Amino acid sequence: MQTVLSHHLKSYKHHHRLSPAQTKVCHRIGTCRTEALDGQLVHCDQCGFEQHRYHSCRNRHCPKCQQRASHEWCEQQLQKVVPVNYFHVMFTLPHELNPWVQCHPEVLYRCLFASVWKTIRTFGHDPKRLNGQMGMTAVLHTWGQNLSQHVHLHCLIPGGALSEKQNHWHGAKSTYLFPIRALSRYFRGAMVSALREATRHGELHRLGPEQIDADLNQLTKKDWVVYSKAYLKKAGTIVRYLSRYSHKIAISDTRIKGIDKRHVTFGYKDYRDNKDKTMQLEGEEFIRRFLLHVLPEGLMRIRHYGFLSNRTRQQKLETIRTCLQVPAQSSQDEETPATEIPPLSDTLCPCPKCRTGHLRVCFEIPAKPRYGR
């Protein structure tokens, strides 16, 4: 991605205006692991080979970064797993709302999180269903495999609810959590209501009132996509799946196959026929699609709700394990401590030249002064 920006960002700026957030992301990616940042000089203890290693930018939109954060998040989530069936539920925004997202991303993402949790919470409290408080971890994704805008929320939901008196666990009675059609209709109503409320408060001021009414009236007539899959006693599978994308952006460097003066070629998976394919886009179009997925500054794309909320999670998970008659210390994931990733300065990497020695840090390299200072 760094090479793509160095080749095509200048021409992109001639035809498009970058937002402050997009400008920051492009700058961070452009300087990631270069002499513009601090670094270290490493030395082989056998053959004397030396190499400069510069620090990463640690921006959440950089394809090179966030591996450590993704690993740590996965380990943390595995420690919260309880021995029940888990469900992966995905809520997708209709593509008709993509222009809205580009105009008011903060409002649309906030309404999406709130509407999804309202849907799950309402179904969970229904006396005819689970009749209790549910828990949910939601991860926001905004992209499809071809870098198109495809806003959806991945939700990891334990299959059951904690009773109001917190003395009983009401487990899901089947391999599906709730009826998909009913979830879709309730989610549609909650999201449309949230958008109308935001309109009344003037939060969608970049959109015309006539456009808002016309779009929402049309959206109430179509079915919204909700997907659900059960993971029977395999919660770790979906946790590890989500962790691969929890701290990543729309594309990884390994998917970029070729870069020339005009085009960028990258690989993607076409889920319609389940085949791996390649796509070639003009450099400016590739950057335009990539920047669609730059999130507003400070937006939390991973959120926890219900008995998984940060404030009460530890206490309520202990309560649930007590209801299930499973001691906290006997859960599989708590028996296995989180794997620590050592810092770069403590990591002894094999020498790429002699293959027998190890690279050790000699000294820290300060960042190269900018603008000749």
Confidence of residue 349 (pLDDT cuts 50, 70, 90): confident
pTM of the model: 0.85
Q: What is the pLDDT of residue 348?
A: 65
Query: Per-residue pLDDT tens for 225-277?
Result: 999 998 876 777 778 877 777 777 888 888 999 999 999 999 998 888 889 99
Q: What is the pLDDT of residue 227?
A: 94
Least confident of 55-69, 75-89, 337-351: 337-351
Instruction: Based on the fold, state whether residues 175 and 304 are members of the same structural domain.
Output: yes
Instruction: Based on the fold, state whether residues 312 and 212 are members of the same structural domain.
Output: yes
Instruction: Based on the fold, state whether residues 168 and 211 are members of the same structural domain.
Output: yes
Instruction: Based on the fold, state whether residues 86 and 30 are members of the same structural domain.
Output: no
Instruction: Based on the fold, state whether residues 311 and 359 are members of the same structural domain.
Output: no
Q: What is the pLDDT of residue 103?
A: 94
Q: What is the pLDDT of residue 328?
A: 57
Query: Per-residue pLDDT tens for 76-103?
Result: 888 888 888 899 999 999 999 999 999 9
Measure CA of the first residue to CA of the last residue in the chain; give whole Å.
28
Confidence of residue 54 (pLDDT cuts 50, 70, 90): confident
Confidence of residue 347 (pLDDT cuts 50, 70, 90): low
Which CATH number goes with the domain that contains 100? 3.40.1310
CB contact at 8 A, 315 and 43: no
CB contact at 8 A, 25 and 61: yes
Instruction: Based on the fold, state whether residues 216 and 93 are members of the same structural domain.
Output: yes
Q: Is residue 152 included in any domain, yes or no? A: yes
Domains: count for the chain? 2
Query: Per-residue pLDDT tens for 193-237?
Result: 999 999 999 999 999 989 999 999 999 999 999 999 988 767 777
Adjacency order of strands within the sheet including 275-282: 256-259, 263-270, 275-282
User: Is 80 exceeded by the pLDDT of residue 67?
Assistant: no
Query: Domain of 79?
Result: 67-250+292-335
Query: Per-residue pLDDT tens for 283-300?
Result: 999 999 999 999 998 899
Q: What is the pLDDT of residue 76?
A: 83
Confidence of residue 344 (pLDDT cuts 50, 70, 90): very low
